[in-house]
């Protein structure tokens, strides 16, 4: 047995010190992003987050959507003028490891505790090593959130010619906690018995601030159909940071994250270019969008560098990052690879019913390194009476990376207030007092207040 009850009573669990802190740091970074730049945006789901009703509808130039920022070619056929008073959203995601946080809590307690015999320490070692094999491969916790600067996304048809413009100003915060596993060893030091390991927490964070301008134009007009072409330019500004924290010394992980995020972060800027093509007809439309065609790049702050210039815990964390240098990039650049997306929608004559779908043809990485390639399909209806709610239902799937699937639904009241939710179909199990409960690995929600006329 181990003598750790007093230690458990005197300190919070690892969830409070590590996972919770890391995820809350994502919210803090998001707030920082909003406070430090009054005008920033993105029209595309760069961080894997779809804005507004597109969480359910998909990344489609949709007749029921209030803005046209998804495809820059769509602005000439959207509302004459649309703007947003509020547009925010968030999502959480867990890796496919049951009882991840509880197991980390127990491992942390074992690392801090003393055992009565070497046999007890060896039992704890064997259990920890079995858990860490899966945790190192699949264990993570992730939080993403975004918000648009008020009045954006904004789009309008130009009063002259056959063109339209769009402006989107958005900031995104993202935080990911992963596990760098290492063997757990049992030791005997005189009459003391315990376990030790180099297993570490690997935390990556990003604040992404973007400004996107789009222009679309009607390039061909038929009797019942038209062809539209558009382009977009996005100015990216990022604050990217990452930290390696040894689990053995994770007592003050909350303070460590707070202190070292600024020390390790690097600010960078670049510009991304996009093109959009849309064929629009009385009963259907389909299009293609290319994002980041020039492959912009944004750099992380380096870790594991010049450790001899540091001292104390900071030097130990630096050396630990070096030790895992064969598994993580000590100097990392986030490359926004080009991504092509297809979209399609069919509808009845008055567009009160719409069936739509979108599909990313290739995967790209989000700021914290996870692959994103989304497919979405939806059905939606808009009653003629403005007092009745608009309803939409859908399904979405990440075709790469996590390969998570979701059912989605949303509604819009008074043609303005919208709420959309994505509920993950993949579960993790939490065991408590011999009871097992399943929880979704991921959930997302968006809230918006839009005006269009």
Question: pLDDT-derived band of residue 105, with 50, 70 and 90 as boundaries?
Answer: confident
Lookup: tokens for 54:
């597109």
- Segment 256-269, tens digit of pLDDT: 777 777 788 899 99
What number is the average pLDDT over the span 132-160?
A: 94
Provide the pLDDT for residue 45: 55
Q: Of the candidates 100, 175, 203, 95, which has an alpha carbon nearest to the alpha carbon of residue 140?
A: 95
Q: Which of the residue ranges 134-143, 235-244, 309-318, 319-328 would you say has the lowest mean pLDDT?
A: 309-318
Provide the pLDDT for residue 47: 62
* Cβ-Cβ contacts under 8 Å for 286 (sequence gap 6 or more): 278, 279, 342, 343, 344, 345
The answer to whether residue 313 scores a pLDDT higher than 60 is yes
Distance CA(417)–CA(394), nearest Å, equals 19
- Segment 7-51, tens digit of pLDDT: 444 444 544 444 444 444 444 444 333 333 333 333 345 666 789
pLDDT exceeding 90 applies to what percent of the chain? 72
Provide the pLDDT for residue 430: 86
| pTM attached to this predicted model | 0.89
What number is the average pLDDT over the span 92-121?
A: 90
What number is the average pLDDT over the span 382-398?
A: 96
- Segment 415-452, tens digit of pLDDT: 999 999 999 999 999 887 778 889 999 999 999 999 98
The more confident residue out of 233 and 35 is 233
Provide the pLDDT for residue 24: 42
Average pLDDT of the chain, as a whole number:
88
Provide the pLDDT for residue 43: 38
The answer to whether residue 60 scores a pLDDT higher than 50 is yes
Contact by Cβ (8 Å): 344, 278: no
Q: Which of the residue ranges 41-45, 163-167, 398-402 would you say has the lowest mean pLDDT?
A: 41-45
pLDDT exceeding 70 applies to what percent of the chain? 88
Provide the pLDDT for residue 250: 63
For every residue of 63-97, DSSP letters joined together read TT-S---SSGGGGGGS-SEEEEEEEEEEEEEE-S-
Lookup: tokens for 308:
């001899």
What number is the average pLDDT over the span 311-330?
A: 92
Provide the pLDDT for residue 7: 43
């Amino acid at each position: 047995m181990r003598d750790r009850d007093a230690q458990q009573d005197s300190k919070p669990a690892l969830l409070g010190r590590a996972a919770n802190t890391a995820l809350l740091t994502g919210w803090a970074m998001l707030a920082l992003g909003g406070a430090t730049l009054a005008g920033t945006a993105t029209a595309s789901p760069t961080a894997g987050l779809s804005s507004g009703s597109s969480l359910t509808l998909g990344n489609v130039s949709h007749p029921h959507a209030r803005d046209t920022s998804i495809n820059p070619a769509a602005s000439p056929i959207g509302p004459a003028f649309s703007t947003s008073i509020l547009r925010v959203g968030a999502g959480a995601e867990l890796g496919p490891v049951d009882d991840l946080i509880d197991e980390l809590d127990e491992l942390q307690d074992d690392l801090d505790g003393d055992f009565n015999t070497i046999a007890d320490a060896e039992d704890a070692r064997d259990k920890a090593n079995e858990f860490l094999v899966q945790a190192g491969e699949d264990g993570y916790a992730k939080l993403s959130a975004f918000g648009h600067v008020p009045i954006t996304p904004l789009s309008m048809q130009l009063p002259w010619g056959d063109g339209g413009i769009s402006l989107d100003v958005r900031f995104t915060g993202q935080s990911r906690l992963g596990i760098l596993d290492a063997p757990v060893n049992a030791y005997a030091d005189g009459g003391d018995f315990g376990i030790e390991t180099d297993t570490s927490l690997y935390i990556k964070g990003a604040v992404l601030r973007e400004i996107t301008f789009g222009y679309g134009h009607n390039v061909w007009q038929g009797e019942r159909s038209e062809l539209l072409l558009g382009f977009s330019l996005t100015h990216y500004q990022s604050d990217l940071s990452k930290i390696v924290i040894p689990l053995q010394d994770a007592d003050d992980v909350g303070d460590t994250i707070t202190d070292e995020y600024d020390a390790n972060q690097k600010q960078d800027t670049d510009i991304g270019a996009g093109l959009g093509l849309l064929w629009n007809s009385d009963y259907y439309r389909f299009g293609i969008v290319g994002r980041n065609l020039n492959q912009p790049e944004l750099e992380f702050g380096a870790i594991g560098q010049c450790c001899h210039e540091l001292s104390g815990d900071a030097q130990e964390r630096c050396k630990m990052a070096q030790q895992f240098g064969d598994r993580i990039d000590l100097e990392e650049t986030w490359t926004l690879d080009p991504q092509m997306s297809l979209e399609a929608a069919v509808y009845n004559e008055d567009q009160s019913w719409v069936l739509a779908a979108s599909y990313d043809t290739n995967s790209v990485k989000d700021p914290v390194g996870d692959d994103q390639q989304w497919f979405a399909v939806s059905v939606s209806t808009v009653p003629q009476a403005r007092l009745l709610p608009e309803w939409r239902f859908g399904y979405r799937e990440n075709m790469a990376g996590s390969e998570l699937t979701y059912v989605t639904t949303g509604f819009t009241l008074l043609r303005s207030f919208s709420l959309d939710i994505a509920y993950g179909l993949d579960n993790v199990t939490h065991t408590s007092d011999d009871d097992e409960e399943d929880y979704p690995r991921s959930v997302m929600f968006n809230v918006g207040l839009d005006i269009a006329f």
